[in-house]
Structure 1
Amino acid sequence: MTSSTVNYSFRVDREIKRQCEAMYNELGINLATAFNVFMRQSLRAGGFPFNVRLEEPNRETIMAMIEAENIAKDPDAKRYSDVEEALKDLKEE
């Protein structure tokens, strides 16, 4: 009878591997089982089983973006015609 499994070899950072082995060991599984879980979840999700992003803003940046949006929508917010006017106003404060 032929085995339905295959051996697959790939390179991974030594420290990442060590950390993952320790973490999965605490969960009661080995790295090969974790990788199989990842692949099965990928098939179910039709891609990565988690969001893959280049960069996600931190909480402080998100709050600043919301504040900027609110200021832009506020009809009573002070407006400037050029950068020099805004800088002059900042120096006076």
Structure 2
Amino acid sequence: MATTTMTLRMDADVKRDAEALCKEMGMTLSTAFNIFAKTMIRKRGIPFAVTGSPSLYDEPNRSHMRAAMEELNAGHGREHELVETK
């Protein structure tokens, strides 16, 4: 079967982590993408659910925010530095 080259763009950290994971599984990133493409063709769609992250305004989040506001209003809040995570 003839092969072709495909170019795609992704974040460098994502590529590095994906290559490391593929190496642990004994394959290359190219092999992983071929598996993905063949599965997509066979299933006639993306082979996993593609969903958005929960909305800030979904009921579980609103419920959590209400409880946090009640706790803060009751004087149980505390100030802290903002910690950014990756």
- Smaller-chain TM-score bracket: 0.5 to 0.7
The runs of at least 4 aligned residues of structure 1 exceeding 4 Å deviation read none
Question: How many aligned positions are there?
Answer: 59
Answer yes or no: is 1:6 the counterpart of 2:4.
Answer: yes
- The separation in 2 between residues aligned to 1:48 and 1:26, in whole angstroms, is 24
C-alpha RMSD over aligned residues: 2.1
Sequence identity (%): 35
What is residue 47 of structure 1 aligned with on the other side?
45
* 1:51-66 correspondence to structure 2 within 5 Å: 51-56=49-54, 61=60
Tell me how far apart the structure 2 counterparts of residues 26 and 42 of structure 1 sit (CA, whole Å): 23
Structure 1, unaligned runs of 5 or more: 65-93
TM-score w.r.t. structure 1 length?
A: 0.56
Gaps of 5+ in 2: 64-86
Aligned ranges for residues 10-49 of structure 1 at < 5 Å?
Answer: 10-49=8-47
Q: Which has the larger share of helix?
A: 1
- Between structure 1 and structure 2, the one with the greater Rg is 1
Secondary structure in 2 matching 1:22: helix
Structure 1 residue 41, shift from structure 2 partner = 0.8
Structure 1 residue 56: Cα displacement: 4.5
**TM-score when normalising by structure 2:** 0.60
Question: Map of 1:77-88 to 2, 5 A cutoff?
Answer: none
